[in-house]
């Protein structure tokens, strides 16, 4: 299985963490365990080859990583692959990782790599910046209320065209180009998820919540190693389409699938103990701790709905939920295949 990683198109970065993961791990054999003398070298390699924006490095530089080092690093990843092999990971994709072509390539490569080594990723996406561009082209003003897009009938038509017809298909095309098989969907397809209007519909228009999820259409796709790519648009029982927050959709889909992990890609490092200090990142916290931070005002603003989404998904059976920094290249690999992670992990 690891040989497949070496031949993955467009992916040239080794990855790993040290071997003390959050949770129990098992080594494949004694020979897989790294020699103590190798650990400083391995750690330095990780910092140089994963945490740095590899896509901007010259090809000849990336190609000069010693073969033995690459093999050592891949061997180190074995326990993480064993832990998550066959498990469903739901990833919400948006923010800076969607706006930057380099970060987008990083996310696609990470996603395909995870699929190749046996994980079962599901990608849920929004597309706010692309929606704004098309509204501007058509002379329609973008209006927001309490951080949510006000969506009248004409705006809803644009939202559906952009998210389902353009952003979704562009992502599917990129994944397929990387030699994986992606299938584009929205809540409208196969009754995947059904919408209901938000309580303040008078102010927001066609902005909805998820009323129910039917994951039946996803299971055969995952069983056949396909990658579902889901746009956050759905219809209510009458057929009226709604724009739904992609974090909310990801959380509800993760719960319905019984996912091992929910990951939200954001434009912040994660949950901060001090909102004004990026260095105060909270690496791991349980639901009780998160609620306390909200009560104390340490979590506020746009982070509250993300945290609520994570808490709700865990309450419905998702094992862990992570809010990670999508601005970091290969943040998905850092979160899943290293013990350092790339943000904050919330547990039950």
pLDDT for 137 beyond 80: yes
pLDDT for 38 beyond 80: no
> Which long-range contacts (C-beta less than 8 Å, at least 24 apart) are formed by 294-301?
298/272, 298/273, 298/274, 299/271, 299/275, 300/275
Between CA 228 and CA 190 the distance in angstroms is 13
Count Cβ neighbours within 10 Å for each residue of 171-202 and write b for 16 or more, e otherwise.
bbebbeebebebbbbbbbbeebbbbbbbeeee
What pLDDT does 275 receive?
Answer: 85
> If you average pLDDT over residues 200-204, what whole number do you get?
84
Q: What is the mean pLDDT of the chain?
A: 82
More confident residue, 5 or 226: 226
Q: What is the pLDDT of residues 290-324, one digit of tens each?
A: 999 999 989 888 888 899 999 999 999 999 999 99
Helix (H, G, I), strand (E, B) or coil at 185: strand
pLDDT for 66 beyond 80: yes
Length of the chain: 348
Set out the domains of the chain in order of their start, with CATH numbers.
87-347 (3.40.1160.10)
Between CA 150 and CA 155 the distance in angstroms is 8
Between CA 333 and CA 348 the distance in angstroms is 22
Between CA 231 and CA 67 the distance in angstroms is 40
More confident residue, 191 or 42: 191
Residue among 37, 31, 33 at smallest CA distance from 20: 33
Q: In the structure, what pLDDT confidence band is assigned to residue 41 with cuts at 50, 70 and 90?
A: very low
Rounded to 5 degrees, what angle do the CA atoms 325, 168, 161 make? 120
What pLDDT does 71 receive?
Answer: 82
């Amino acid at each position: 299985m690891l040989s497949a990683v070496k031949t993955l198109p467009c992916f040239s970065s080794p990855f790993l963490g040290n071997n003390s993961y959050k949770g129990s791990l098992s080594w494949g054999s004694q020979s897989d365990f790294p020699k103590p003398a190798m650990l400083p070298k391995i750690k330095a390699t990780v910092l140089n080859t994963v945490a740095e924006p590899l896509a901007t490095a010259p090809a000849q530089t990336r190609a000069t990583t010693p073969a033995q080092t690459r093999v050592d690093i891949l061997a180190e990843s074995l326990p993480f692959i064993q832990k998550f092999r066959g498990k469903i990971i739901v990833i919400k994709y948006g923010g800076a990782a969607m706006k930057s072509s380099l970060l987008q390539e990083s996310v696609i490569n990470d996603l395909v790599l995870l699929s190749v080594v046996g994980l079962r990723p599901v990608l849920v996406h929004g597309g706010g910046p692309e929606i704004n561009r098309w509204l501007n082209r058509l002379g329609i003003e973008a209006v927001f209320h309490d951080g949510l897009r006000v969506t009248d009938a004409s705006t809803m038509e644009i939202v559906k065209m952009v998210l389902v017809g353009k952003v979704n298909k562009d992502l599917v095309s990129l994944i397929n180009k990387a030699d994986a098989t992606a299938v584009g969907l929205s809540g409208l397809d196969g009754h995947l998820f059904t919408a209901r209007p938000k309580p303040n519909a008078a102010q927001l228009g066609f902005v909805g919540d998820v009323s129910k999820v039917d994951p039946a259409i996803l299971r055969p796709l995952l069983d056949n190693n396909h990658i579902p790519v889901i746009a956050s648009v759905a219809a209510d029982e009458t057929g009226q389409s709604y724009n739904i927050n992609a974090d909310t959709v990801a959380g509800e889909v993760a719960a319905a699938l019984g996912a091992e992990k929910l990951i939200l890609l954001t434009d912040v490092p994660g949950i901060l103990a001090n909102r004004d200090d990026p260095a105060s990142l909270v690496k791991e916290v349980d639901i009780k701790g998160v609620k306390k931070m909200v009560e104390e005002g340490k979590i506020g603003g746009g982070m509250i709905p993300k945290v609520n989404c994570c808490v709700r998904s865990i309450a419905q059976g998702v094992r862990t939920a992570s809010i990670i920094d999508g601005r970091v290249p290969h943040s998905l690999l850092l979160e899943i295949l290293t013990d350092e992670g790339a943000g904050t992990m919330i547990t039950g």
